[in-house]
Amino acid sequence: MADHYDTAYMEDVYDKGPYKGARISSAGADDNHSATAALMHAFPLFCELSRAGRLECDIWLVHLTGEEFPSDCLGARYLCERLVERNLRIRTAPEKWHDLSGVRVQGVYVLDMVAHNNDRAPDIFQISPGEGDASVWLAYQAHLANELWNRRCRRWNQSGSRRGKGRVQRGSSAKTVPALFRHLELFGQIRLPWEPASTLFNTDAQIFSDAGIPVVLFMEDYDINRTGYHDTHDTMGNVDLDYGSALVAIAIETVARAASHTPLKFD
């Protein structure tokens, strides 16, 4: 389960004129602190599943850097190179390393921008697999998790403190706790690599696919022309907490589901 935690430049500052603006990093609330928050919330849940013996494989939470231009997915490329060459190791202390050269990655779920609900086509997100049948199997787990979430939402919203609640309103501050809102049903669209609506090509997920590693991209219904993409408006004021929390819950359930089953073997 991976995110990227670097940020783009504020293009609305830099693009005021030919090379006149300052190359200042954007806030990156949606792109991509939303995914980083998802990994942080996933950690204790996966630890609980591991302690209970319910996982058939390890789950790695990987923070990738260098995704934004001009780095061109530098972190993902480095990780894929180590996996392909079978020489991956991680530092566990200043002078200690843990050898992971024998690890075989069953699949990767990349989260990239998961908290902005498209105003023109609301409540949709993309499940975009890379090339190959194994990637489609990973996408199918996401579809099942999405269906499960939507069924549970209907029950949860009819009882307890969520009963009668409406949609969340976008806020302007990360310090303000929003009023309780209803759980949001989402509609995940499986978008295969050759479909124009898939934005796999523009993310770290493409690097894993190119390396032959099964991968799925979780992403909002991406609108490159909206305010708040690579600019000074990528703040909490452009984040939808009901949408983001639902998508993150589906992503966490998906990873747990995939890690609790033996993936299909394809020739």
pLDDT digits (tens, 9 = 90+) for 46-57: 999 999 999 999
Q: Which one, of 133, 113, 105, lies nearest residue 31 by Cα?
A: 113
Task: Using the predicted structure, report yes or no on whether residue 266 has a pLDDT greater than 50.
Answer: no
CA dist 238 and 223 (Å) reads 13
Determine the pLDDT at residue 267. Answer: 37
- Please, which pLDDT band fits residue 178 given cuts at 50, 70 and 90? confident
pLDDT tens digits, one per residue of 116-146: 999 999 999 999 999 999 999 999 999 999 9
- Please, which pLDDT band fits residue 175 given cuts at 50, 70 and 90? confident
The CATH number of 2-259, from 3.30.420.40, 3.40.50.300, 3.40.630.10, 2.40.160.20, is 3.40.630.10
Structure tokens that stand for 90 in this block: 């991680």
Task: Using the predicted structure, report yes or no on whether residue 106 has a pLDDT greater than 70.
Answer: yes
Determine the pLDDT at residue 27. Answer: 87
Average pLDDT over residues 182-201: 96
Q: Which one, of 73, 122, 63, lies nearest residue 247 by Cα?
A: 122
pTM: 0.94
Q: Which one, of 22, 84, 41, 122, lies nearest residue 210 by Cα?
A: 84
| 217: helix, strand or coil | strand
Average pLDDT over residues 204-230: 95
- Please, which pLDDT band fits residue 21 given cuts at 50, 70 and 90? confident
Average pLDDT over residues 253-266: 80
Determine the pLDDT at residue 179. Answer: 86
Contacts of 23 (CB under 8 A, 6+ apart): 9, 14
Quote the mean pLDDT of the chain.
92
% of the chain surpassing 90 pLDDT = 78
209, containing H or E segment: helix 204-210
- Please, which pLDDT band fits residue 262 given cuts at 50, 70 and 90? low
What is the residue-wise DSSP string for 77-112?
A: HHHHHHHHHT--EEEEETTEEEE-TT-----EEEE-
